[in-house]
Structure formats: C-alpha cells, structure tokens
Amino acid sequence: MAEQVRAIRTRRTILAAAAKVFEENGYQAATISQILSEAGVTKGALYFHFQSKEDLAQGVLAEQDQRLIVPGRASKVQEIVDVVMLHAYRLQTDPMVRAGVRLSMDQLADGLDRSGPFLRWAEVGNDLLARARAQGELLPHVVPSETADVIVGSFAGIQSMSQAVCDYRDLVSRVSALMRHLLPSVVVPSVLASLDLSDTRGATVYAEAVKALNELELSAAS
Amino acid sequence: MAEQVRAIRTRRTILAAAAKVFEENGYQAATISQILSEAGVTKGALYFHFQSKEDLAQGVLAEQDQRLIVPGRASKVQEIVDVVMLHAYRLQTDPMVRAGVRLSMDQLADGLDRSGPFLRWAEVGNDLLARARAQGELLPHVVPSETADVIVGSFAGIQSMSQAVCDYRDLVSRVSALMRHLLPSVVVPSVLASLDLSDTRGATVYAEAVKALNELELSAAS
C-alpha cells in the first residue's frame, strides 16, 4: 500500500515536471532529460511510468479530463453549462489543467496526437445533450453531436483569445458571453430562461464539486 | 523601381522562410540562423527588413490580415459571414495564412505578443456589426464588441479543433455549423432567412475577391 502511494506520488511529480517543461519549451523542443532533471527522479522511475515523450504529453493532456464531477442537475443543459464553467474556472486556477489545455492547442506539435481532449470533451457534451433531448430541453432541429463539437471548439478558441489578450483575467465573462450566444439556438425558451450563466457560476460549481469529492473520499476511507 | 520590387520579393522570401521555420520548430525554439539558411539571404538583407525574431513573427502574424477584400454586400451580416468563410477557405489553401494562424494560437510562445491578430479581427467584426446595427439587422440586445469577440474567439478554436481532428478536411462545414449556432441570437429573423451559410460560400467569395484584386491591379497598371 505504501509502495502504491509512493508510485502515485512519483507519477504526479513526473507529470508536473513534464507540464512545466512542455509549457516552457513547447512540445517539439522539450526533451526527456529536461523533464528528468526538473522532476529529480531516476531514468528508471520515469520509464517505469512513461515510455516516451509522447506518452508524457498524453499524460499531461489527460489531466484536463474531469476528475471533479459536476453534481447532477434537473436540467441537463445547466449541467453542460456547469461543466464548461467549471473547466474555465480550473483553467484560471490549476497549473496542470492549464498545461494540458495549452498542449492540446499546440498546433506546432508534430507527431503528437492532440485530438484526444477535443474528442473526449465532445463525447461528454454529446451524452449530456442526448439526455437533454430526451427530456425535451432542445429545439427540434438540434443535432447533439454537431452542437457538442461547436461548444468544445469555440470554448478552445475563447480561452486561447483570453490568454493572448489578458492572461485569462476575462476568461469567465468571455465564456459566459459565448454561452449566451450559443444556447438560444439550441435550447427551448423556458429552459433558457431558467439557466444560471453568471460569471460566478464556475467558482460555485467548483466549491460544490470539491465538497462532493471530499465526502466521497471520507466515505471510502471509513 | 526595380530595386523596390526586389526588396518586396526579398521580404516575402524571408517571411516564407520564417513561417516554415516557426511552423517546424515552434516560436520558442526557432532561431534566426535557421531562418537565414532557409531563406538563402544574407544576414544584412534579413536585418534590413526585420530587427528581431519577434519582428519576424509579427510579420508572419500580419499575413493573415485581409489582403483580399470581400466585396461589399447589402447585408452587413452576410459580409461578416463572407469574411469568416473566406478566412476559413484561405486557411485550408494558403500556407502563409496557416502559419500566421498557428503562430497566433501558440500558447507556448513566451515573449511573443499574440494579441494582435485577435484584436485586429475583432475590430473588423466590430465595424461590420456596427454598420449592421445601423441598418436594423441586429437584435436589440446585441453589443457589437462582445459579439465580435465571441465570433473571433470561437472561430480560432473551431479551426484548431478541425486541424487536430482531421487536418482541416472538415473546416468549412465546422465553420458553417458555428455560424448557424451563433447568428440566431444576433440577427433579426428576416435577415437570418436570407443568409448564405453554405459550405461552398468560402470558395465562391475567394474567386470573387481574386477577380476584384486582379481588376484593381490592371486598372492601376494602365
């Protein structure tokens, strides 16, 4: 058990080091020996967890996947909004999430398959939209997979623009504006009127999700 | 005159070389000596046109600005659609435009101000939206500067997702889907019904713009 905990810690140390090195040098120019010296682990330890530079990058990319679960909502459209707002909030506050997103936007990273995060997020959106459709929240013409792709793609650009223009200071209000522009062509008016799209939504959902995670861990430990 | 033409050609040769080197190595890792050897020009020639690596990158970034002018349209909203669709078409077909866009999306490029293209495109959008408002094309709640930012930001992400997922093969249909999602919350219904948002719009506008440019150059030469 102690060994397992140590292995998990080592893995996280290596990933954090890789995130930092990729962020400073770009995927292309980064080297495994830079990551080794940043992490302060042995070559053997690194290769025990990761086989290659691409493998390390995929590890960083996967860090933006949901570990924090948004509590279920009666409105599945609100749940989509909450997933998006939570992700924006974590992007502002969590260096690992930021490194993963930047890597997935690195259009210069030859030989790195960056499609994973786009496709995984699109699947999350597609599932929630299908459930929203089943309970009558969507306008009749909406194709869930297409709308999910539009949401994921435009979010990716909105965050990049916010970083370029002001280092993420206005990210939350830009994401809120995006939602106000997209959802009226997706959602029936009565649902639209009941949505919380406010700037503070991300922070609220984050607090809720952390509390839920702590309760889960406590109950698992007892 | 001959000298001026030569200088313009040299500048373009250097920019094309810089675009290639930035694309292959990322901004961070690229060096001026790589660009020199790619361009096959002297150090003196390069420094006559560009003072630094950042200066070269700004030159590449500026290449995505409109050189091709979209012909004026009765509907200013259609004109916005045409600017967006033309840009998507050029992104698929013109290596220099592609290099500029990728560089502006390089979130790992420390020390390079990437905000320029975002802000310049947002200004183009803002101007056209203000004119659309003046002739009654917009819904009353729309704030042109906010909507312009949403369009520019989401376009940036949609193109990045299309590149990551299938190397731009589905770019045009993704951009068309984006427009169909954004415009219903921006435009009055009668204008919306008259817009051409089809997949082939970009190619059509490109042909028109090239023809207009050739006529302009012919009349300037005669």
For residue B87, the tally of other CB atoms under 10 A from its CB is 23
Which residue of B20, B97, B150, B175 is the best one to mutate when testing the A interface, meaning the one whose CB has the most A CBs within 10 A? B150
Task: Please tell me whether residue A138 adopts helix, strand or coil conformation.
Answer: strand
Q: How crowded is residue B52: how many other Cβ atoms within 10 Å of its Cβ?
A: 10
The ipTM is 0.84
| pLDDT at res. A110 | 67
Residues of chain B neighbouring A177 (CB-CB closer than 8 A): 146, 149-150
Contact between chains at B165 and A25 (C-beta distance less than 8 A): no
Q: What's the distance, CA B91 to chain centroid?
A: 8
Q: According to the model, what pLDDT value does residue A63 have?
A: 77
Please report which confidence band the pLDDT of residue A222 belongs to, taking 50, 70 and 90 as the band edges.
Answer: low
Q: Is it true that domain A76-221 has CATH number 3.30.70.20?
A: no
Whether A111 has a pLDDT exceeding 90, the answer reads no
Quote the pLDDT of residue A184: 97
Over 80: is that where the pLDDT of B9 sits? yes
Architecture of the structural domain at A2-62: Orthogonal Bundle (1.10)
> Is the CB of residue A160 less than 8 Å away from at least one CB of chain B?
yes
**B-chain residues within 8 Å CB-CB of A158?**
150, 153-154, 157
Task: Assess whether pLDDT exceeds 70 at residue B108.
Answer: no
Nearest CA in chain B to A150: B178
| Residue A75 touches chain B, beta carbons under 8 Å | no
Q: Which residues of B touch A157 (CB under 8 A)?
A: 153-160
Which range among A44-48, A122-126, A183-187, B208-212 shows the weakest confidence by mean pLDDT?
A: B208-212
Q: Is B93 on the interface with A (CB under 8 A)?
A: no
B2-19 b/e (C-beta count within 10 Å ≥ 16 → b): eeeeeeeebbebbbbbbb
- Write out residues 6-35 of A within 8 Å (CB-CB) of B: 22-29
Q: Looking at the domain that runs over B2-60, which CATH code has it been given?
A: 1.10.10.60
Residue-wise pLDDT for B29-56, tens only, equals: 889 999 999 999 999 999 999 999 999 9
- Whether chain A has a CB inside 8 Å of the CB on B177: the answer is yes
Is the model's pLDDT at A3 over the cut of 90? no
* Mutation target among B58, B60, B104, B108 for the A interface, most CBs of A within 10 A: B108
On average, the pLDDT of chain A sits at 90
Single out the residue of A35, A116, A133 nearest to residue B164, CA to CA: A116
A146 and B177 within 8 Å at the Cβ level: the answer is: yes
Closest CA to B157 of A79, A199, A175: A175
Cβ contact, residue pair A174, B153, below 8 Å: yes
Q: How many angstroms separate the CA of residue B70 from the nearest CA in chain A?
A: 24
Residue A68 has pLDDT above 80, yes or no: no
Find the range with the poorest average confidence among A46-50, A108-112, B67-71, B188-192: A108-112
What pLDDT does A24 receive? 80
Nearby residues of A142 by Cβ (< 8 Å), 6 or more positions away:
A129, A133, A186
pLDDT of residue B45: 93
Terminal CA-CA length for chain A: 16
Report whether pLDDT(A116) > 70: yes
Tell me the domain boundaries of chain B.
2-60, 76-221
What pLDDT score was predicted for residue B1? 57
Q: Would you say the CATH fold of A76-221 matches that of A2-62? A: no
A185 touches chain B (CB under 8 A): yes
* Range 113-142 of A in CB contact (< 8 A) with B: 114-115, 118-119
Q: In angstroms, rounded to a whole number, what is the distance separating the alpha carbons of residues B26 and A109? A: 8
When scoring B104, B154, B170 by the number of chain A Cβ atoms within 10 A, the one with the most, hence best to mutate, is B154
CA A39 to chain centroid: 24
What pairs with residue B184 in β-bridges? none
Hey, is the C-beta of B181 within 8 angstroms of any chain A C-beta? yes
Instruction: Please tell me which of the candidates A25, A105, A118 has its beta carbon nearest to residue B105.
Output: A105
Under the banding of pLDDT at 50, 70 and 90, the label for residue B65 is low
- Model confidence at B96, pLDDT cuts 50, 70, 90, reads confident
State mean pLDDT over B7-33.
Answer: 88
- Residues B126-157: tens digit of each pLDDT: 999 999 999 999 999 999 999 999 999 999 99
CB contact B165 to A (< 8 Å):
yes
CB-CB under 8 Å, A105 with B107: yes
Q: How many CA atoms lie within 13 A of B185 on its CB side?
A: 22
Min distance B73 CA to chain A CA atoms (Å): 24
Whether B193 and chain A come into contact, CB under 8 Å, resolves to no
Distance from CA of A207 to the nearest CA of B (A): 27
